[in-house]
A and B are shown apart, each in its own frame.
Chain A
Amino acid sequence: MADAYIYDHVRTPRGRGKNTGSLHEITPISLLTQVLQALRDRNEMDAGLVDDVVSGVVSPVGEQGSVIARTAALMADYPEHVPGFQVDRFCASGLVAVNLAAAKVMSGQAELTVGGGVESMSRVPMGSDGGAWMTDPSVAKKLNFVPQGIGADLIATLHGFSREDVDSFAVESQRRAKKAWDDGRFKNSIVPVKDILGMTVLDHDEFMRPETTMQSLAALKPSFAEQGEMYGFTSVALMRYPEVERINHVHHAGNSSGIVDGAAAVLVGSKSIGKKLNLKPRARIRAFADIGSEPTIMLTGPSYAAEKALKRAGMTAKDIDLWEINEAFASVVLLFMEMLNIDHKDLNVNGGAIAMGHPLGATGAMILGTALDELERTGKGTALVTLCIGGGMGTATIIERVN
């Protein structure tokens, strides 16, 4: 099997996912187009060599519909023979897109691919694509559907994470993100978003609240308590977890991932295409894995996905220098650290989605790039990137820096 290498990574800054957010006036097609252009231009590469463009997108409807990857490639002036397709595995879509791009290379069916993702949550709100899982009563019943925030609270309840535990994690995420920005740790990958005049609309992650403290978080009301009680979701969750007397609702807007807009792209290729393009590989993709986990609690997938990927790579958790997990909810990360016995100092060292936001379809590709930049900055060797996923899944990818 051929090796797949990461040659480059770019991402947009993340704009607040509201109609007052900086990126709200930029269409999702434009966000994805801009990262595809940046990837080509800064590598001075012949985009005609790209065999496929894969884009994660979680609400592929409206202006994010109709295979946005192909549309964006054309809009970015990639030659018309460059095809594209979209993938949706909820929150891991961006990482799965990179994995599929890599898989094409590994299987020898492609030499050069782009994997990435996009989500304009301010323009195409979460849930716009519907889905039998929650709307069809017979399906919701069989799968015990509850909104994922209740799953996050259930994780906290079952594993004894207190409100203080999740809030302190959130404060630390904010602190680390601020420091990372201040130290310029993201500058290598950030592509400022431009308007049609070429003027910059956004050049930094605008969701961050570095002033966050335990006290300011303490003032926030739990987000899922009322929803859970009023609409019966708590009862449904307890029917699946009858060993729980009541759910401790600890999550709120301040310790959950932010709703934002953004896009990212990763250039993947074989060893030989690098030589042909005169590009240096930055990392090798060692292994990746996807798993399904219990769908009601929904968010326990990462540790199982990580274990599966580690096994595939012939590695153990001890062989990983750097961990990057999407901060969908604080309890998800705390559980992951507990399951794999990971020290917080080795995980999400530059903050995460609680501070900077989670543009659903793009996040996987974004945090993969964040991990790669950090490996290079610190000279470390291996990183594992993972995300929890709606419907009870997990995806993990292991990369290894190459000189």
Chain B
Amino acid sequence: MTKTIKFDLDGDIAVLTIDLPGKSMNVITEEMMQDLETLIGKVIGDSAIKGAVITSGKPAFVAGADLSMMSAMSAMAKTAPIEETFKFVLILSNLLRRMETSGKPFAAAINGLAMGGGLEICLACHYRVVADDPKIQLGLPEVKVGLLPGAGGTQRLPRLMGVQAALPYLLQGRSMSPQEAAGFGVVHKVVAKDALLAEAKRWVREEGNAVQPWDQKNFKFPGGSGAMNVKVVQTFMAGEAMLRKETKDNYPAPQAIMNAVYEGHQVPMDAALRIECRYFTTLILRPESTNMIRTLFLNKQSADKLVRRPKNVAKAEIKKLGVLGAGMMGAGIAYVSAMAGMEVALLDMTQEAASKGKAYSVGLLEKDVRRGKLSREKADAALNRITPTTDYAQLAGCDLIIEAVFEDAKIKADVTAKTEAVMPKSAIFASNTSTLPITELAKASKRPAQFIGIHFFSPVEKMPLVEIIMGKKTGEEALARALDYVAQIRKTPIVVNDSRGFYTSRCFGTYPSEAIAMLKEGINPALIENAGVMAGMPVGPFAVADEVSIELMYKVMKATRAAVGDKYQEQPADSVAVDFVEKFGRLGKKAKKGFYEYPEDGKKYLWPELAKHFPRADNQPTVEEVKKRLLYRQAVEVARCYEEGVLTAPEDADIGAIFGWGFAPYTGGPLSMIDTVGVAAFVKETERMARAYGARYRSPKLLRDMAKEGRTFYAG
């Protein structure tokens, strides 16, 4: 019998209840597909059965395809003949098509969330009824993992909703509530949860029209169809351009969806499904999907589940948090921690400053209440948990203290001593420094084993990543507590070892630095800026430099120079930062003067005098070369961090790069990118770039060894 789907008979109506053993959520696995095939075959073949209802035995209906199965499919596709891959991709699509053309009525009783393949099963049913629960999400999110809905989703959804209405749900993977779905005609009826099954059975028994609208002769495509329909054509024209504005051609999935909808919506369903599956096959043959699934989902989920947490330390909740410094970062840390239910003592030099830090939370909470995202009670409760103070005594009873004071080792040493005088001996002390080595800062601590770096990104409430930095003497207990804390505030942690700038600040800095180096070489700054965005970075490198401020880059450079002395390696960007700060007085965006001009009444534009100070070279590189320089320079630095032991796992490198500084997500992160390019090819290319642009491009020994031995960062 079938293990993943229960089969029952209610008179002449079959009930297929999807219920994967040992899982909290139904997902589509190979076994589940086989079971579905068996049971659909049984319904079709047994003349005593009138029709069937498909539902789920779990709170959710079906969450979509099992991502590990998708990864395995991608791996298989890389070596299998294309015909076999295509055949495999078609299995579910064919099965659902067989179901909808069988002549027997099938009804979906959607009791909970139906995503991806789960919703596609429903769309192939002749009748869809969903439980009246606004929390239920219905959607086709495949695009987010670099794929497309491959079991008819790109074809059936537009035939129900119309092309224009369906495209955003397919291209952005947006989901809809039951009521919205009913409004769009995606489901037929919304009923109370306890009436769901009865209604589905009633339809099979009393109505049971087993011909889909698109298989009827007089089918009219909602909103029109075809390459001569002005409205439809405009949707595709503008849709394609807007899509490329967003993706910069880096994400093949939305493009494939566009193509599949355009070509498929003009032909009968059988041909449409073949078109869809062809495009699906092109996607699983590409690296983006594998890379995105690996980093953005599988490895991120592991990180969220604290894969790096020492197992021998007992789990402990942070109940009270101390935050030193109520500036921008401290205020944000206080907010996210209070929202997670912690008591927060927010300490600053003056009561005014401390209160101002709390006011930041007031602002954010009020906004959420106004927008109906948060109840007044919850907002008030969160706010009541934050105590602004100047009194170190308030830190008594804290499980964790995070200092976010001025980036000055002396000041930090001072607050460390003052805090340790009052905090419990068992508490952990963390620094939110973004650049200063933790090992050095820990020298001010009496308990360096309990001293750790917890590096947040700005704005704290929006940025998903937290970088945890192990000083030389940091102990496992501190790491475990820091990770537990990150889990409590629902952020994604990576764990790195100590070094100047740690991992993220150090590697991220190469992005604007390399752009500045290119500017110095006489490369057109507009080309550099556009290339950054085209390479998949969220903003251009000069815009980023202005945002973080040229002054900060300048200060970090000076501090590093002072700290390392003769060993300091001059970077091409250094002299430019000096000129901008000392000569031009252009400190960045805050000063409204940086690489950009910021007019009061218009869009920012590149400082026209850049051309004067950095005369344009006669030979300009291609945009492809500039893109490569910007990405590879970052990747080389990441590989160095890995070699130096700052990073201990490629997963941390890739998650940190994407969620920390927005490294091109379609690559799956810098180390995934090196794997995709091929380690040997990457080494060879960086050798060429080192000769052309400077030794900073040279791949570290680690990569050269990997190339020689044919190793990669990830298996498959």
Contacts and interface: CB of A to CB of B under 8 A. Distances in A.
Interface of A: 130, 132, 134-138, 140-141, 145-146, 231-233, 235-236, 238-239, 242-246
A135 B239 CA distance: 10
Per CB-CB distance, the 6 closest pairs between chain A and chain B, nearest first, are A232-B241, A232-B245, A235-B245, A245-B526, A232-B242, A242-B530
B238 interface: yes
Chain B interface size range:
20 to 34
A130 B237 contact: no
B620 interface: yes
B258 interface: yes
B228 interface: yes
12 contacts: A138-B258, A138-B262, A140-B236, A141-B255, A231-B237, A232-B242, A236-B241, A238-B530, A239-B244, A242-B526, A242-B530, A246-B605
B73 interface: no
Contacts of B623: 242-243
Interface in B229-256: 233, 236-246, 248-249, 255
Interface string B523-547: 0111101110010000000000000
Interface string B213-230: 000000000000001100
Given A135-B227, A135-B233, A146-B241, 6 more contacts: A130-B227, A137-B255, A141-B255, A239-B534, A242-B527, A243-B524
B531 A136 contact: no
A235 B246 CA distance: 9
Contacts of B259: 137-138
Contacts of A138: 255, 258-259, 262
A244 B238 contact: no
Nearest to A233: B241
B353 interface: no
Contacts of A246: 603, 605
A280 B236 CA distance: 53
A236 B262 CA distance: 19
B65 interface: no
Nearest to B525: A245
Contacts of A132: 227
B620 A231 contact: no
Given A239-B248, A242-B531, A137 B606 contact: no
B241 A140 contact: yes
Contacts of B531: 242
Contact of A141 (B233, B244, B525, B620): B244
A134 B605 CA distance: 31
A135 B240 CA distance: 9
A244 B620 CA distance: 13
The listed residue with most B CB atoms (<10 A of its CB), out of A138, A235, A242, is A242
Contact of A140 (B240, B246, B606): B240
Nearest to A61: B228
Contacts of A235: 241, 244-245
B245 A130 contact: no
The listed residue with most B CB atoms (<10 A of its CB), out of A135, A141, A239, is A135
A245 B240 contact: no
Nearest to A146: B241
A242 B634 CA distance: 21
Nearest to B256: A138
Contact of A136 (B228, B245, B249, B262): B262
A245 to B, nearest CB: 4
A157 to B, nearest CB: 11
A170 B273 CA distance: 53
A146 B249 CA distance: 15
A393 to B, nearest CB: 21
A59 to B, nearest CB: 12
Contacts of B245: 232, 235-236
Nearest to B527: A243
A241 B238 CA distance: 19
A188 B244 CA distance: 51
B526 A231 contact: no
A137 B262 contact: yes
A233 B238 CA distance: 8
A232 B236 CA distance: 12
Nearest to B257: A137
Interface in B498-528: 524-527
A208 B243 CA distance: 40
B546 to A, nearest CB: 14
Nearest to B531: A242
Nearest to A235: B245
A265 B237 CA distance: 35
Given A138-B259, A231-B238, A239 B249 contact: yes
A135 B237 contact: yes
A140 B237 contact: yes
Contacts of B529: 245
Contacts of A130: 227-228, 233
A246 B620 CA distance: 18
Interface string B11-27: 00000000000000000
B700 to A, nearest CB: 31
A138 B244 CA distance: 11
A243 B621 CA distance: 10
A143 to B, nearest CB: 11
Contacts of B620: 243
Contacts of A141: 240, 244, 249, 255
A245 B605 CA distance: 8
Given A136-B262, A242-B527, A243-B526, A231 B241 contact: yes
Interface string B261-278: 011000000000000000
Nearest to B523: A243
Nearest to A140: B240
Interface in B602-616: 603, 605-606
Nearest to B262: A137
Contacts of A243: 524, 526-527, 530, 620, 623
Contacts of B238: 231-232
A137 B258 contact: yes
A221 to B, nearest CB: 16
Contacts of A140: 236-237, 240-241
Contacts of A146: 241
A137 B235 CA distance: 10
A231 B525 CA distance: 25
B526 A244 contact: yes
A325 to B, nearest CB: 28
A135 B255 contact: no
The listed residue with most B CB atoms (<10 A of its CB), out of A145, A238, A243, is A243
Contacts of B524: 243
Contacts of A239: 244, 248-249, 530, 534
B601 to A, nearest CB: 16
A369 B17 CA distance: 78
A243 B245 CA distance: 16
A243 B258 CA distance: 28
Nearest to B530: A242
A137 B242 CA distance: 11
Nearest to B242: A232
Contacts of B241: 140, 145-146, 231-233, 235-236
Contacts of B246: 232
B255 A242 contact: no
Nearest to B524: A243
Interface string B56-71: 0000000000000000
The listed residue with most B CB atoms (<10 A of its CB), out of A238, A239, A244, is A239
B159 to A, nearest CB: 18
A235 B245 CA distance: 5
A79 B255 CA distance: 53
B237 A236 contact: no
Contacts of B239: 137
A243 B526 CA distance: 6
Contacts of A145: 237, 240-241
Nearest to B540: A245
Contacts of A135: 227, 233, 236-237, 262
A290 B9 CA distance: 73
